[in-house]
Amino acid sequence: MSKLSHFNKDGAAHMVDVADKKATRRVAVASGRITMQPETLEKIQSGEHKKGDVLGIARIAGIMASKQTSVLVPLCHQVVLTHVDVGFEVDAAAQYVECKVRAETVDRTGIEIEALCAVQVALLTIYDMCKSVDRGMRIESVQLLYKAGGKSGEFGSY
């Protein structure tokens, strides 16, 4: 395993210095899902949930979360997002909603944490909006699917 970059030579946590890095186009795709009861999923799909457009609100929450990542994650750099796309796919047979986020920037550091944060908050928003009818929902399988750009190159696929 390589040396962890968020610790200095004395072992103290620090924010990595990216001043000498070249700004490059960077892309990250992350996903996750929330499982629920069939009745809950039906309310979301039909648009008949009493709180309104669950996926529409979750989409906005994910975008907002990506823009606030550096506030939430202590050693994360603030990056200028050039694009964020939050999408959902419903699998009624497996009883889940999958969220997939693609985040992009032209900057000196990666965009993976912004994509992962957006997925988590979008799914958490679905939970919040539906908890009155289904407290047994589970957020799971949150992961980075793909990243490109920067010194470490490409990872994964989507």
Supply the residues annotated as catalytic: 128
User: Cα-flanking dihedrals φ and ψ of residue 30, to 5°?
Assistant: -130, 160
Q: For residue 62, what are the CA distances in angstroms to 55, 91, 108, 124, 143? A: 10, 20, 23, 9, 15
CA proximity to 100, closest of 58, 137, 129, 70: 58
DSSP 109-148: S--HHHHHHHHHHHHHHHHHHHTTT-TT-EEEEEEEEEEE
